[in-house]
Amino acid sequence: MEVPIFNAAVDLDGIPEAVISPAIIEGNNHQTLYQEISRQIQGILRSQEPEKFVVSVQRLLDFLAKNGVELEDLQHQVIIQGIVQRAQQEPLFKESLFRWEQVTSPTERISLMGELVRFAIALLWEE
């Protein structure tokens, strides 16, 4: 399955359907797909501010779920680690995370991505 590149500026109508139906992903295909998804998530987290990456990663997760790809636990781990690592390296990004938490809409706050961002923020507060 080819995973399209996602960002918050792309119109969802322009995102293609999966090239093949990923009914069962096994062995190397599973690992390759996970690596590609991880690479995309990490790229999004490194290049966008919280208000953008929340939307971009959520779109990617929605696309994967719509196409039957279930790597939820691994995706969550990659997302939380990526947010925490970037915040530890970039003080301005860390500030923008805390600001996002204060101004985000209730809808974004309770979305899957919102919950993951808030979990990462909680880890940062512990430091």
Read off the pLDDT of residues 98-119 as tens digits, 9 standing for 90 and up.
999 999 999 998 988 999 999 9
| Three-class DSSP category at 6 | coil
* Size (the chain), residues: 127
pLDDT of residue 22: 45
123 pLDDT above the threshold of 90 = yes
pLDDT digits (tens, 9 = 90+) for 25-69: 455 577 788 888 888 899 999 999 998 998 888 888 888 888 887
Residue 25, φ and ψ in degrees, nearest 5: -110, 120
What are the structural domain ranges in the chain? 78-127
pTM: 0.73
Q: How confident is the model at residue 92 (pLDDT cuts 50, 70, 90)?
A: very high
Q: Which residues of 68-101 are buried (b: 16+ CB within 10 A; e: fewer)?
A: ebebeeebeebbbbbbbebbeeeeebbeebeebe
Residues sharing a CB contact under 8 Å with residue 36, sequence separation 6 or more, in sequence order: 3
